[in-house]
Amino acid sequence: MNRLLQLQKLGQSVWYDNIHRHLLHCGELGRMIKEDGLGGVTTNPTIFEKAIGGGDAYDAPIRMLITRHPALDSRDLFNTLAVEDVQRAADLFQPVYEQSHHINGMVSIEVSPELAYNTDATISEANQLFEAVNRPNVMIKVPATREGLTAIEVLISEGINVNATLLFSVKRYRDVAEAYLLGLEKRLRRGQPLHDITSVASFFVSRVDTKVDALLQSRLEKADEERRGLIQSLQGRIAIANAKMAYQAWQEIFGTERFAQLKASGAHPQRLLWGSTGTKNPAYSDTLYIDELIGPDTVNTIPPATYQAFKDHGHPQRTLDKDLDGARRQLAELPALEIDLDAVTDTLEEEGVCQFADSYHGVIDVIETKRRLLEAS
């Protein structure tokens, strides 16, 4: 049986962390929806940078746009191309959206990462994107910085689907869930419907291991024999332990009487979405961050290589709530090794915003270069 379909039988939705014109127009995305039960697509500036800069698939659309609208600058061109891709994907996922009662079939598009620390500008651009795409199954990605939390609350209260992204810590995840609940409660007080609002909290995984493993390796080089075994046992395990604790928090938050009252009015729980699930360390299994994080009412958005790897040789079985005591012990070992996980996750958030901003600037530069070449030809 298709292992991706088995994941869904275990309650986990599979989304695809990729988008490009060929995927949308050659029938491949439609095939994945039909054969693999694909439930959604996530995008970010890095994905668009690779898509637009990686070939000539966007040359003809850019030429058409600059011919018809010569006053458009490169940022406007990018937004137009991205919105068109998301609209096409959302149309392909429309049946999934309806069949899943509006929790799957979602396509995400991100506000500019330049706005990650500006609440008002984030809210404004999110509204513009939601209106521009004009599809009920679009989800606006908002970086879950401190400034982003208020934006998430406001956007949910306005009826806009939100993908709260760049989450690395359990504490910040709790803040995001609180923003979601506050937004729903505002709508409920105004007598507005809740049943059409969908949200996920994108909790990043592999980047945590990349950062923590480097710190563990530095401790390993100075450790005595007794401590070396402990340090080695923690390598490649902290990201999974961290995610398992986030899921425990999710179960607690959405098992309360507070949420039960919202659910009675039609609200959906805000699901955890595992992001950054491609394995970066070649010493680890290429399906590690799927195999170890399988559980109900979650989403895994999977990059292309990992998607194919899991389909070929992944291990679909419920693992997300297994050996929780072991996960807690692993996290509890870090302070004695002088590793501050909160400091690590704070750094990862800052780096994530910078990385996406760099990719955003990169895709704008690519479009500007293409524009000059096309205008000169």
Residue 123 is given by DSSP the state: H
Strand partners, 316: none
Kindly state whether residue 369 falls inside one of the protein's structural domains.
yes
Report if residue 1 sits inside a domain: no
- Tell me whether residue 4 is in a domain: no
Which pair of structure tokens corresponds to residue 28? 């491949």
- pLDDT per residue as tens, the chain (377 positions): 899 999 999 999 999 999 999 999 999 999 999 999 999 999 988 898 888 888 888 999 999 999 999 889 999 999 999 999 999 999 999 999 999 999 999 999 999 999 999 999 999 999 999 999 999 999 999 999 999 999 999 999 999 999 999 999 999 999 999 999 999 999 999 999 999 999 999 999 999 999 999 999 999 988 888 789 999 999 999 999 999 999 999 999 999 999 999 999 999 999 999 999 999 999 999 999 999 999 999 999 999 999 999 999 999 999 999 999 999 999 999 999 999 999 999 999 999 999 999 999 999 999 998 888 888 87
Residue where the block lists tokens 């923590």: 212
C-alpha to C-alpha distance for 195 and 181, rounded to whole angstroms: 13
**Domain enclosing residue 169, as ranges:** 10-376
pLDDT at residue 11, rounded to an integer: 98
- Annotate 144-174 with DSSP letters as a single string: -SHHHHHHHHHHHHTT--EEEEEE--HHHHH
Place of tokens 């850019």: 62
pLDDT of residue 376: 80
Could you tell me the two tokens for 205?
Answer: 């995984």
Cα angle 362, 204, 314; round to 5: 105
Cα separations in angstroms, 48 against 107, 206, 230, 296: 14, 21, 41, 30
Name the domain count of the chain.
Answer: 1
- In a domain, residue 333? The reply is yes
Dihedral angle at the C-alpha atoms of 218, 220, 222, 225, nearest 10 degrees?
A: 180
The predicted structure's pLDDT at residue 261:
98
Residue 1's pLDDT is: 82
Q: What is the pTM of this model?
A: 0.96
Does residue 115 form part of some domain? yes
What CATH code is carried by the domain that includes residue 107?
3.20.20.70
Structure tokens, 256: 């309360």
For residue 163, which of 151, 171, 356, 244 has the smallest C-alpha distance? 151
Residue 2 is assigned to a structural domain of this protein: no
Dihedral sign for Cα atoms in the order 38, 129, 184, 172: positive
Q: What letter would DSSP give residue 113?
A: G
Q: Which pLDDT score, from 0 to 100, does residue 295 have? A: 98
In a domain, 303, yes or no: yes
Q: Distance between CA atoms of 97 and 91, rounded to whole angstroms?
A: 10
β partners of residue 163: 141, 200
Residues annotated as catalytic are 141
147: in domain: yes
